[in-house]
Amino acid sequence: MIRLIGIIAALVFALPALAQPLPAGLDKQNAIVIDSTKGRIVIQLRPDIAPQHAERIKQLARDGFYNNVPFHRVMAGFMAQTGDGEKFNGTGGSKYPNLKQEFSKVPFKRGIVGMARRGDSVDSANAQFFIMFDDGPSLNGQYTVIGEVVSGMDVVDKLKKASPGSPGGSVTDPDKMVKVQVAADVK
């Protein structure tokens, strides 16, 4: 009985996200759909400027790696970081090797999605990524741009933020990416 109630509750919460149509003109082969605890976020990937990174994001989504992964670092006015499906705290990667940087001239502005990396190595991006809340010109040419939010920035804005003074912008009891799919795979 409890299991049945759990299944019904999951369906009730999932239905609004499932009912949302994808944006018109979306390149579904190169977009990811994130159904989060706050709602749906759709990211158009940029294989034209970061082919290795875009392919990695799609592979990890298809592997189920990003499902139930927290937005572990969320800093108001800056960015929301997620993608650590290994350790769930921002210190993990994936089973795949790190990627060589694919810097471009695309500026980090509101809604841009970039690959996170270790601060000491430009060729250390692996699985984690971040979404910009605001413009971040100091990141230009320092991080790989992999895409842009084309639907759901209002959802990104609702993500639970770190408390002021929280080390590294860590979030207590963070929101999560419940399910992440390549848009072409969304049924």
Give the domain CATH number at 144: 2.40.100.10
**pLDDT greater than 70 at residue 6:** no
For the residues 77-84, what does the mean pLDDT come to?
98
Token pair, residue 133, equals: 């809340």
State which residues form the domain around 87: 2-185
pTM over cut 0.85: yes
Q: Which residues pair with 145 in a beta bridge?
A: 114
**Residue whose structure tokens are 């970039």:** 114
For the residues 75-81, what does the mean pLDDT come to?
97
Q: What pLDDT, on the 0 to 100 scale, is given for residue 164?
A: 87
Please give the share of the chain, as a percent, with pLDDT higher than 90. 84
Query: What is the Cα–Cα distance from 174 to 84, expressed in whole angstroms?
Result: 13
Token pair, residue 46, equals: 């940029």
Supply the DSSP string of 120-164, one letter for each residue: T-TT-B-S-EEEESS--GGGTTTS-EEEEEEE-HHHHHHSPPPPT
Q: What pLDDT, on the 0 to 100 scale, is given for residue 148?
A: 98
Query: What is the Cα–Cα distance from 32 to 62, expressed in whole angstroms?
Result: 10
Q: Determine the 3-state secondary structure of 170 from DSSP.
A: strand
